[in-house]
Amino acid sequence: MPEATLAPLVDIGANLGHESFAHDLDAVLQRAVDAGLRHLLVTGTTASASQHALELAQAHPTLLSATAGVHPHEAQHCDEEHFAIIRRLVSSPQVLAVGETGLDFNRDYSPRPVQERIFEQHLVLAAESGKPMFLHQRDAHARFFPMLKEFRDALPRNAVVHCFTGERHELYDYLDLDLYVGITGWVCDERRGQHLLEFLHDIPRERLLLETDAPYLLPRSLRPKPKSRRNEPCHLTEVLRTVAAAIGEAPEVLARQTAANAVRLFQIPEQDWMKAKA
Protein backbone atom coordinates (compact mmCIF):
# COMPACT_ATOMS: atom_id res chain seq x y z
CA MET A 1 0.00 0.00 0.00
CA PRO A 2 1.43 3.41 -0.96
CA GLU A 3 2.12 5.76 1.92
CA ALA A 4 -0.33 8.61 2.36
CA THR A 5 0.89 12.04 1.33
CA LEU A 6 1.05 14.94 3.78
CA ALA A 7 -1.39 16.92 1.65
CA PRO A 8 -4.52 15.95 -0.30
CA LEU A 9 -4.22 14.64 -3.85
CA VAL A 10 -6.64 14.86 -6.75
CA ASP A 11 -6.60 12.31 -9.57
CA ILE A 12 -8.01 14.15 -12.58
CA GLY A 13 -8.37 11.03 -14.74
CA ALA A 14 -9.34 7.53 -13.64
CA ASN A 15 -11.34 5.08 -15.75
CA LEU A 16 -13.19 3.64 -12.78
CA GLY A 17 -16.02 2.39 -14.97
CA HIS A 18 -13.62 -0.10 -16.53
CA GLU A 19 -14.69 -3.72 -16.10
CA SER A 20 -11.55 -4.50 -14.10
CA PHE A 21 -12.96 -2.43 -11.22
CA ALA A 22 -16.42 -3.98 -11.26
CA HIS A 23 -15.72 -6.53 -8.54
CA ASP A 24 -13.80 -4.44 -5.99
CA LEU A 25 -14.47 -0.75 -6.58
CA ASP A 26 -15.20 -0.02 -2.92
CA ALA A 27 -11.83 -1.47 -1.92
CA VAL A 28 -10.11 0.49 -4.70
CA LEU A 29 -11.66 3.72 -3.47
CA GLN A 30 -10.69 2.97 0.11
CA ARG A 31 -7.08 2.38 -0.90
CA ALA A 32 -7.16 5.68 -2.75
CA VAL A 33 -8.42 7.54 0.32
CA ASP A 34 -5.85 5.79 2.51
CA ALA A 35 -3.12 6.98 0.11
CA GLY A 36 -4.21 10.61 0.48
CA LEU A 37 -6.55 11.08 -2.47
CA ARG A 38 -9.50 13.33 -1.72
CA HIS A 39 -11.15 13.63 -5.12
CA LEU A 40 -11.13 11.77 -8.43
CA LEU A 41 -12.62 12.49 -11.84
CA VAL A 42 -14.09 9.41 -13.51
CA THR A 43 -13.41 9.57 -17.23
CA GLY A 44 -16.20 9.22 -19.78
CA THR A 45 -15.11 7.81 -23.17
CA THR A 46 -18.42 6.86 -24.81
CA ALA A 47 -22.05 7.76 -24.22
CA SER A 48 -22.59 4.64 -22.10
CA ALA A 49 -19.27 4.99 -20.26
CA SER A 50 -20.04 8.64 -19.54
CA GLN A 51 -23.44 7.67 -18.15
CA HIS A 52 -21.75 5.08 -15.94
CA ALA A 53 -19.16 7.64 -14.81
CA LEU A 54 -21.98 9.96 -13.74
CA GLU A 55 -23.71 7.14 -11.87
CA LEU A 56 -20.48 6.41 -9.97
CA ALA A 57 -20.12 10.10 -9.12
CA GLN A 58 -23.68 10.22 -7.88
CA ALA A 59 -23.06 7.13 -5.73
CA HIS A 60 -19.90 8.71 -4.19
CA PRO A 61 -20.67 12.44 -4.34
CA THR A 62 -17.92 13.70 -2.04
CA LEU A 63 -15.13 11.61 -3.55
CA LEU A 64 -15.99 11.35 -7.25
CA SER A 65 -17.00 13.59 -10.13
CA ALA A 66 -17.28 12.71 -13.81
CA THR A 67 -16.46 13.79 -17.34
CA ALA A 68 -18.64 13.15 -20.39
CA GLY A 69 -17.39 12.71 -23.92
CA VAL A 70 -16.38 10.40 -26.74
CA HIS A 71 -12.78 9.23 -27.07
CA PRO A 72 -11.33 9.59 -30.59
CA HIS A 73 -11.02 5.79 -30.79
CA GLU A 74 -14.82 5.66 -30.51
CA ALA A 75 -15.60 8.60 -32.79
CA GLN A 76 -16.89 6.43 -35.63
CA HIS A 77 -19.63 5.11 -33.34
CA CYS A 78 -20.82 8.57 -32.27
CA ASP A 79 -23.97 9.46 -34.17
CA GLU A 80 -26.45 12.24 -33.41
CA GLU A 81 -28.25 10.11 -30.82
CA HIS A 82 -25.04 9.35 -28.95
CA PHE A 83 -23.92 12.96 -28.95
CA ALA A 84 -27.33 14.05 -27.68
CA ILE A 85 -26.67 11.83 -24.66
CA ILE A 86 -23.28 13.49 -24.13
CA ARG A 87 -24.93 16.90 -24.34
CA ARG A 88 -27.49 15.89 -21.72
CA LEU A 89 -24.87 14.44 -19.41
CA VAL A 90 -22.70 17.55 -19.61
CA SER A 91 -25.59 19.54 -18.15
CA SER A 92 -25.39 17.51 -14.93
CA PRO A 93 -23.69 19.30 -12.01
CA GLN A 94 -21.66 16.16 -11.23
CA VAL A 95 -20.10 16.25 -14.72
CA LEU A 96 -17.25 18.72 -14.43
CA ALA A 97 -15.68 18.52 -17.90
CA VAL A 98 -16.35 17.79 -21.57
CA GLY A 99 -14.33 14.81 -22.74
CA GLU A 100 -12.38 12.64 -23.08
CA THR A 101 -12.15 14.00 -26.60
CA GLY A 102 -9.50 14.89 -29.15
CA LEU A 103 -7.51 13.21 -31.90
CA ASP A 104 -5.52 9.98 -31.98
CA PHE A 105 -3.62 9.29 -35.19
CA ASN A 106 -1.45 6.61 -33.58
CA ARG A 107 -3.81 3.71 -34.14
CA ASP A 108 -6.54 5.30 -36.25
CA TYR A 109 -9.31 3.20 -34.75
CA SER A 110 -11.67 5.81 -36.22
CA PRO A 111 -11.10 7.56 -39.57
CA ARG A 112 -9.30 10.85 -39.13
CA PRO A 113 -12.01 13.03 -40.74
CA VAL A 114 -14.56 11.48 -38.38
CA GLN A 115 -12.32 12.12 -35.38
CA GLU A 116 -11.99 15.76 -36.40
CA ARG A 117 -15.74 16.19 -36.83
CA ILE A 118 -16.54 14.70 -33.42
CA PHE A 119 -13.75 16.69 -31.76
CA GLU A 120 -15.18 19.90 -33.20
CA GLN A 121 -18.62 19.00 -31.83
CA HIS A 122 -17.06 18.67 -28.37
CA LEU A 123 -15.30 22.02 -28.77
CA VAL A 124 -18.62 23.66 -29.58
CA LEU A 125 -20.30 21.91 -26.65
CA ALA A 126 -17.61 23.10 -24.25
CA ALA A 127 -18.02 26.65 -25.48
CA GLU A 128 -21.80 26.43 -25.06
CA SER A 129 -21.75 24.74 -21.67
CA GLY A 130 -18.96 26.82 -20.16
CA LYS A 131 -17.30 23.67 -18.80
CA PRO A 132 -13.59 22.86 -19.22
CA MET A 133 -12.30 20.23 -21.61
CA PHE A 134 -10.53 16.93 -20.94
CA LEU A 135 -8.38 16.46 -24.03
CA HIS A 136 -6.61 13.52 -25.68
CA GLN A 137 -3.92 13.86 -28.34
CA ARG A 138 -1.56 11.24 -29.67
CA ASP A 139 0.52 11.57 -32.83
CA ALA A 140 -1.93 14.23 -34.06
CA HIS A 141 -0.46 17.50 -32.82
CA ALA A 142 -0.20 19.05 -36.29
CA ARG A 143 -3.98 18.86 -36.68
CA PHE A 144 -5.06 18.95 -33.03
CA PHE A 145 -3.29 22.17 -32.11
CA PRO A 146 -4.75 24.34 -34.93
CA MET A 147 -8.27 23.11 -34.15
CA LEU A 148 -7.83 23.82 -30.48
CA LYS A 149 -6.24 27.21 -31.13
CA GLU A 150 -9.17 28.25 -33.30
CA PHE A 151 -11.59 27.60 -30.43
CA ARG A 152 -9.40 28.69 -27.52
CA ASP A 153 -11.00 32.11 -27.04
CA ALA A 154 -14.43 30.47 -26.91
CA LEU A 155 -13.39 28.21 -24.00
CA PRO A 156 -13.69 30.45 -20.93
CA ARG A 157 -13.13 27.54 -18.54
CA ASN A 158 -9.93 26.35 -20.23
CA ALA A 159 -8.82 22.74 -20.80
CA VAL A 160 -6.31 20.10 -19.76
CA VAL A 161 -4.20 18.11 -22.19
CA HIS A 162 -4.67 14.78 -20.46
CA CYS A 163 -1.82 12.27 -20.24
CA PHE A 164 0.77 14.48 -21.92
CA THR A 165 3.49 12.32 -23.49
CA GLY A 166 4.68 14.64 -26.26
CA GLU A 167 7.79 16.61 -27.10
CA ARG A 168 8.99 19.95 -25.77
CA HIS A 169 7.63 21.98 -28.71
CA GLU A 170 4.18 20.47 -28.21
CA LEU A 171 4.26 21.39 -24.54
CA TYR A 172 5.21 24.97 -25.38
CA ASP A 173 2.33 25.19 -27.87
CA TYR A 174 -0.14 24.18 -25.15
CA LEU A 175 1.41 26.52 -22.62
CA ASP A 176 1.12 29.34 -25.15
CA LEU A 177 -2.64 28.72 -25.03
CA ASP A 178 -2.46 28.79 -21.22
CA LEU A 179 -3.70 25.19 -21.00
CA TYR A 180 -3.29 22.80 -18.09
CA VAL A 181 -1.07 19.73 -18.54
CA GLY A 182 -1.85 16.31 -17.05
CA ILE A 183 1.02 13.97 -16.15
CA THR A 184 0.51 10.23 -15.63
CA GLY A 185 2.59 7.18 -14.79
CA TRP A 186 4.07 7.44 -18.30
CA VAL A 187 6.69 9.64 -16.64
CA CYS A 188 7.67 6.65 -14.46
CA ASP A 189 8.47 4.47 -17.49
CA GLU A 190 12.20 4.28 -18.14
CA ARG A 191 11.57 2.95 -21.66
CA ARG A 192 9.46 5.77 -23.09
CA GLY A 193 8.84 8.48 -20.53
CA GLN A 194 12.30 9.68 -19.62
CA HIS A 195 12.27 12.58 -22.09
CA LEU A 196 9.48 14.17 -20.04
CA LEU A 197 11.80 14.51 -17.05
CA GLU A 198 13.93 16.95 -19.05
CA PHE A 199 11.21 19.61 -19.33
CA LEU A 200 8.67 18.98 -16.55
CA HIS A 201 10.13 22.01 -14.81
CA ASP A 202 8.98 24.14 -17.75
CA ILE A 203 5.34 23.55 -16.82
CA PRO A 204 4.20 26.45 -14.60
CA ARG A 205 3.25 25.10 -11.19
CA GLU A 206 -0.24 26.57 -11.53
CA ARG A 207 -0.83 24.61 -14.77
CA LEU A 208 0.33 21.15 -13.62
CA LEU A 209 -2.12 18.33 -12.88
CA LEU A 210 -1.59 14.69 -11.86
CA GLU A 211 -3.55 11.62 -12.92
CA THR A 212 -3.33 7.84 -13.07
CA ASP A 213 -5.45 6.98 -16.14
CA ALA A 214 -6.22 3.82 -14.15
CA PRO A 215 -6.44 0.93 -14.93
CA TYR A 216 -3.84 1.85 -17.55
CA LEU A 217 -0.26 3.12 -17.19
CA LEU A 218 0.78 1.37 -13.99
CA PRO A 219 3.96 3.20 -12.88
CA ARG A 220 6.87 0.91 -13.71
CA SER A 221 8.96 2.45 -10.94
CA LEU A 222 6.69 1.13 -8.18
CA ARG A 223 8.54 -0.92 -5.57
CA PRO A 224 7.56 -3.54 -4.69
CA LYS A 225 5.86 -4.21 -7.98
CA PRO A 226 2.15 -4.99 -7.62
CA LYS A 227 1.14 -8.54 -8.41
CA SER A 228 -1.55 -7.21 -10.69
CA ARG A 229 -0.74 -5.06 -13.74
CA ARG A 230 -3.89 -3.05 -13.09
CA ASN A 231 -3.21 0.55 -12.16
CA GLU A 232 -5.21 2.08 -9.31
CA PRO A 233 -5.76 5.66 -8.11
CA CYS A 234 -3.74 4.91 -4.96
CA HIS A 235 -0.64 4.72 -7.18
CA LEU A 236 -0.92 8.45 -7.91
CA THR A 237 1.55 8.83 -5.05
CA GLU A 238 4.23 7.31 -7.29
CA VAL A 239 3.50 9.81 -10.06
CA LEU A 240 3.70 12.56 -7.45
CA ARG A 241 7.02 11.26 -6.13
CA THR A 242 8.56 11.05 -9.60
CA VAL A 243 7.40 14.49 -10.72
CA ALA A 244 8.39 16.12 -7.43
CA ALA A 245 11.90 14.66 -7.67
CA ALA A 246 12.25 15.78 -11.29
CA ILE A 247 11.34 19.41 -10.56
CA GLY A 248 12.98 19.65 -7.15
CA GLU A 249 9.81 20.19 -5.15
CA ALA A 250 8.66 18.68 -1.85
CA PRO A 251 5.97 16.06 -2.58
CA GLU A 252 3.53 17.52 -0.06
CA VAL A 253 3.91 20.99 -1.59
CA LEU A 254 3.35 19.64 -5.09
CA ALA A 255 0.37 17.61 -3.92
CA ARG A 256 -1.35 20.68 -2.54
CA GLN A 257 -0.48 22.78 -5.59
CA THR A 258 -1.82 20.25 -8.09
CA ALA A 259 -4.94 19.67 -5.99
CA ALA A 260 -5.57 23.43 -5.93
CA ASN A 261 -5.08 23.51 -9.70
CA ALA A 262 -7.66 20.76 -10.16
CA VAL A 263 -10.13 22.57 -7.93
CA ARG A 264 -9.63 25.77 -9.94
CA LEU A 265 -9.98 24.17 -13.38
CA PHE A 266 -12.88 21.84 -12.69
CA GLN A 267 -14.56 23.90 -9.97
CA ILE A 268 -14.75 20.88 -7.70
CA PRO A 269 -17.40 21.56 -5.05
CA GLU A 270 -15.76 22.88 -1.88
CA GLN A 271 -15.08 20.32 0.84
CA ASP A 272 -13.39 20.39 4.24
CA TRP A 273 -10.05 19.07 2.93
CA MET A 274 -9.68 22.14 0.74
CA LYS A 275 -9.57 24.38 3.82
CA ALA A 276 -6.73 22.52 5.53
CA LYS A 277 -3.32 24.19 5.65
CA ALA A 278 -0.23 22.48 4.33
- Per-residue pLDDT tens over the stretch 40-70: 999 999 999 999 999 999 999 999 999 999 9
Answer yes or no: is 277 within a domain.
Answer: no
Nearest alpha-carbon partner for 217 in 240, 201, 233, 194 = 233
pLDDT in tens, 120-140: 999 999 999 999 999 999 999
| Total count of domains within the chain | 1
What is the domain range of residue 187?
9-272
Any idea what the CATH number is for the domain that residue 112 is in? 3.20.20.140
Query: Mean pLDDT lowest for which of 3-17, 70-84, 135-149, 251-265?
Result: 3-17
Closest CA to 146 of 123, 180, 129: 123
pLDDT tens by residue, 193-245? 999 999 999 999 999 999 999 999 999 999 998 888 999 999 999 999 999 99
pLDDT for 162: 98
Is 211 a domain residue? yes
The pLDDT, as a whole number, for residue 119 is 98
Q: Find residue 11's DSSP bridge partners.
A: 40
DSSP class of residue 218 equals -
CB 209 within 8 Å of CB 265 = yes
Residue 77 forms part of a structural domain: yes
Indicate whether this model's pTM tops 0.85.
yes
Assigned domain for 207 exists? yes
Q: In angstroms, rounded to a whole number, what is the distance separating the alpha carbons of residues 135 and 87?
A: 17
CA distance 276 to 24: 30
Q: Is residue 68 part of a domain?
A: yes
- The answer to whether position 131 is within a domain reads yes
Residue 14 inside a domain? The answer is yes
Q: Is residue 16 part of a domain?
A: yes
Decide: 67 and 12 in contact? Cβ < 8 Å. no
CB 160 within 8 A of CB 211: no
Rounded Cα distance, 194 and 200, in Å: 10
